[in-house]
Amino acid sequence: MSLFTPATRRFLGTLVLALAGAATVPSLAMPPGAGPGGMAMGGGAMMDGMLPRLLDRVNATPEQRTQIQQILERDRGERQAQRQARQAMQDEAMTLFSQPTVDANAVQALRQKQMAMHDAASKRMTESMIEISRVLSPEQRKQMAEQMRQRREMMQRHHRERQAIDTPKS
Task: Report whether pLDDT(3) > 80.
Answer: no
**pLDDT at site 16:** 56
**pLDDT at site 73:** 84
Q: How many CB atoms lie within 10 A of CB 31?
A: 11
27-45 pLDDT, tens digit each: 333 333 333 333 333 333 3
pLDDT band at 51 (very low <50, low <70, confident <90, very high): confident
Q: Where are the domains of the chain?
A: 6-155
Assign residue 55 a region (left: φ > 0; alpha: ψ between -120 and 50; beta: otherwise). alpha
Q: Average of pLDDT values for 139-164?
A: 93
DSSP β-bridge partners for residue 40: 34
DSSP β-bridge partners for residue 35: none
**Cα angle: 82, vertex 85, 86; to 5 degrees:** 85
Q: Taking all residues of the chain, what is their mean pLDDT, rounded to a whole number?
A: 77
The helix, strand and coil proportions of the chain, stated in percent and rounded to the nearest 5, come to 70, 0, 30
**Cα angle: 93, vertex 95, 101; to 5 degrees:** 100
Percent of residues, the chain, with pLDDT higher than 90: 50
57-83 pLDDT, tens digit each: 999 999 999 999 888 888 777 888 888
